[in-house]
Structure 1
Amino acid sequence: MTAMPLAEPPELKKFSGIQRAAMLMLALGKEHGAAIWDQLSTDEIKELSATIAQLGRVPANVVEHLLIQFSGEVSSMASLHGSYETTERLLQGILPDDKVKDIMQDIRGPSGRTMWDKLSNVNETVLAAYLKNEYPQTVAVILSKLSSDHAARVLSELPQELGTDVIMRMLRMDTVQKEVIQEVEQTLRTEFMSNLSRSQRRDPHESMAEIFNALDRASEEAMLAALDERAPESAERIRALMFTFDDLANLLPAAISAIVRSADKREMALALKGAPEPMKQLFFSTMTERAAKLLREEMAAMGPVRARDCEEAQSAMVRLAKSLADRGEIMLVDPKSDDGLIY
């Protein structure tokens, strides 16, 4: 007697086609799925792998329906669990290690899933310096894959003649062949991104400057003085990299105004209480007359305060400024340059 087909589980309706394919490949495993993986393109493998990695738990009756011919094996399972780890194990042994590594790098994490996403996080000056040595057509292909605002910033960093040539090629560009895109991706991955990761290893002086920024004034001065005796060059470099409360005086009025809007008013009053008069006037100048009057009154009402409390409040103001700069809301004057600006 022919067995009656199993009714479709209602849970199956919530899964898309690619998710159903991912369940099948996860259930087949290495032994039964190797021949299928071998027939897929790199893009298909990436899409399927990314879907497997995000599957989470799949009810056993759904798997049983999709793999009815293997129902004897899967009916005893409580569930399958798709994760980055199971995806990586599944791909290992089927594909070369370097290919598995590239695929997993592209699908892991909440951001930077593709080479183009990663490239969009590269500083425009750094990217332009690399692209200056590439063919204009290659540059045009790369810029066409970036977001418009990032592409604009990179273009502005290129030599004018090269930039104009790139624009003309982008205007005449038809649909770029998939093979060309893949070749450019591979070149970027092997030549640019790998070199970038090596070159971006952080200078320990930068980390130490951040630690010194967090110290109270007395400890900072004592340690820098001791360092002057043992490693004067390192002490000088740390001082150059430090961003202090006094450096706020070099900010543009718009940046000071943004800090004033975001700051805790009592903390700002305490920070300015111990600040020199020019710094106080700089902050007052960005406020309305009424707001400045209220802040002066609050500072006066505090009476005598401990120097340590003022320094801690000033450190909090510096952290706020850096946080606003990290979000792109203000620009900080680079202490390493006379006129340069950094975000």
Structure 2
Amino acid sequence: MSTVQLPGVQRAAILMLALGEEQCSQLFAMMHEEEIKEISLAMAQLGSVNADTVESLCAEFSQSISSAGMLVGSFDSTERLLQKSLSRERASQIMEEIRGPAGRTMWDKLGNVNEAVLANYLKNEYPQTVAVVLGKVKASHAARVLSLLPDSFAMEVIMRMLRMESVQKDVLDSVEKTLRSEFMSNLARSTRRDSHEMIAEIFNSLDRQVEGRFMSALEERSREAAERVKSLMFTFDDLARLTPDAVQKLMRAVEKDKLTIALKGASDEIRTLFLGSLSERAGKLLRDDIAQLGPVRLRDVDDAQSQIVLIAKELGGQGEIELNEHQDEQMVT
């Protein structure tokens, strides 16, 4: 890890961890709350830092700390440091905000909460409160949350949003305080990433041969785990579930040469789907490009298809297209 490439907040986090809990707590006591949050988040996400990097950073400040060895920044070590300088309640609050959804403000964080989770919480709140919340998040996110609420309740919320003028600061502060204490804190404590989903994402990023080798080994160890991972993976072949409109949006976001290479090694079903989404003339031109491509290395095809899958997932995350990623139910034809 080169110290030149490290952002300032990460450099500060490494140095404070190297100083130890006592000195670090004294420094925290002299900082503003926003600075504490920023450095705490950097500490929690730091991971392992080798001794050379630590020594190099400390040398820049004319300190000799070559015996410090490797440091490990984690949520637990960060929380211990915060508790040295802040009340246990405030330290816990900061850690809950760090562990929770990303975002600098409460409204930013809400925008990163899954719409089903947020809707499930809001359906038990007063319509006026929900109107305030949905008025503060992005319209696209508010729309998805609103669509998941009971129809009659959603209409109550809509009517209040239509009548709502500027919201007084004390009302906003009250709603924000309630969300932080009742919703975000519980979300941070209860949110645990599914290990099968994590492995599925890793397998999606592997080339086809390596992924196949690991999947075969996993099936030998645990067929149940392998089947669960397979059901969570989203591959190039899964693009066959896209609607024609989604395919067109995806094709506009993909470089032409990557699409040509990807379709060169695609199944007939996928190739027909993509070509059928084009005009007759554009489809003919793409067929000609594929035919003129000649032999293509399997690795190049895998890379091109992986890039298209990543773009599809990005568009899905932005709400531009519907992926229908998890297909747990088996279909009988």
Match of 2:151 in 1: 160
Match of 1:222 in 2: 213
2:245 to 254, 262, 268: 254
Quote the Cα distance in structure 1 between the aligned partners of 2:125 and 2:181: 15
Amino acid at match of 1:288: S
The 8 Å contact of residues 267 and 313 in structure 1, kept in 2 or not, is answered as yes
Match of 1:14 in 2: none
The 8 Å contact of residues 208 and 238 in structure 1, kept in 2 or not, is answered as yes
The 8 Å contact of residues 105 and 113 in structure 1, kept in 2 or not, is answered as no
- Residue segments in structure 2 that go unaligned for 5+ positions in a row: 1-29, 39-82
Match of 2:123 in 1: 132
Match of 1:299 in 2: 290
Note the C-alpha offset of 1:123.
2.8
What SS is found at the alignment partner of 1:315? helix
Larger radius of gyration: 1
Quote the Cα distance in structure 2 between the aligned partners of 1:171 and 1:267: 46
Kindly indicate whether structure 1 or structure 2 has the higher relative contact order, using CA contacts under 8 Å at least 6 residues apart. Answer: 2
Distance 1:292 1:166, change over 3 A: closer
Distance 1:179 1:94, change over 3 A: farther
Amino acid at match of 1:327: Q
Report the count of equivalent residues: 253
Quote the Cα distance in structure 2 between the aligned partners of 1:319 and 1:175: 40
Matched ranges for 1:71-220 at <5 A: 98=89, 112-170=103-161, 178-220=169-211
Per-residue deviation, residues 172-216 of structure 1 (Å, max 9, x unmatched): 667766544333322211220112223332212122112211222
Per-residue deviation, residues 134-162 of structure 1 (Å, max 9, x unmatched): 23443344344445554443333221232
What SS is found at the alignment partner of 2:204? helix
Match of 1:329 in 2: 320
Distance 1:115 1:227, change over 3 A: same
RMSD over equivalenced CA pairs, Å: 3.7
What SS is found at the alignment partner of 2:179? helix
Higher mean C-alpha displacement, 230-239 vs 281-290: 281-290
Distance 1:148 1:319, change over 3 A: closer
Matched ranges for 1:232-271 at <5 A: 232-271=223-262
Per-residue deviation, residues 269-299 of structure 1 (Å, max 9, x unmatched): 2211122222212111122333322222222
Amino acid at match of 1:225: S
2:272 to 248, 265, 281: 281
Quote the Cα distance in structure 2 between the aligned partners of 1:209 and 1:160: 35
Quote the Cα distance in structure 1 between the aligned partners of 2:90 and 2:127: 29
TM-score (norm 1): 0.61
Question: Identity, % of aligned pairs?
Answer: 54
Amino acid at match of 1:157: L
Quote the Cα distance in structure 2 between the aligned partners of 1:158 and 1:148: 15
Amino acid at match of 1:290: R
Note the C-alpha offset of 1:235.
0.5
Quote the Cα distance in structure 2 between the aligned partners of 1:167 and 1:323: 30
